[in-house]
Structure 1
């Protein structure tokens, strides 16, 4: 369930990402900045890096910084991008970032834009069914086209 009551720690995380984006924004190469709080309480920053052929998300670069510092898990994260007036606004993580965030912190809190209102939601709610190999599941499903279907 989304919480629209932001804590001082949430605001601090947003401000860290906002400052980075205001400093480093470039309309093609650096469109998004992220701030991530590790379990230790330390904030790690990340910046979108892009070219004509490839883009690396800000959340993934923040996550790389956290892991290089030996953080065991991600506590909370926010990403910001520029709105039309040039002011950083919360932006929701893409599917790849949702997958990465869930891999490194199943209890991670993600700041999101819920149709114009900023709140926080758990990564489990943002990505309830993460990608798994068939050998990683704890259940057995009937193969498609089998006689016994449950819909």
Structure 2
């Protein structure tokens, strides 16, 4: 069982930034996930995932947002979230929060062990520490 906490106003603002980036950049078959990361300084960096014809080359939105933040000199992460945009053939009207995939869980925990992740859990939007989503994480001697 996860140790989840309720969202604060700033968490809903982070979700809205993820929604905005994908609503502005949605492209069927190319971009359907938006992500946003808030750094410990309070800055928010958002990005979309980049789909490739060869699925293995696809880069997730969370990775793109983390990379964007790091490229701007922000290396300490507070909270991250990803949202999915509905496809035209789906009978869904708005974006929804999605949990990070396994690779993103690894990446988030590599770069932000203390970071929170916003997820849907038991029907509620909540946040939990990134390390809780990746128990018994692989570590190397470099850490």
TM range (shorter): 0.7 to 0.9
Shift in CA distance, 94/77, structure 1 to aligned 2, threshold 3 Å: same
Alpha-carbon separation, structure 1, partners of 2:47 and 2:113: 20
| Structure 1 unpaired stretches of 5+ | 138-151
Alpha-carbon separation, structure 1, partners of 2:69 and 2:30: 22
Runs of 4+, deviation exceeding 4 Å: none
Name the TM-score, length of structure 2 as normaliser: 0.88
Name the TM-score, length of structure 1 as normaliser: 0.83
2:27 pairs with 1:26: yes
- Tell which structure's C-alpha radius of gyration is larger: 1
Shift of 1:72: 2.5
Secondary structure (helix, strand or coil) at the match of 1:128 reads: coil
Q: 1:73 aligns with which of 72, 76, 92?
A: 76
The number of aligned residues is 135
| Structure 2 unpaired stretches of 5+ | none
Higher relative contact order (CA 8 A, sep 6+): 2
Alpha-carbon separation, structure 2, partners of 1:115 and 1:24: 30
Match of 2:102 in 1: 95
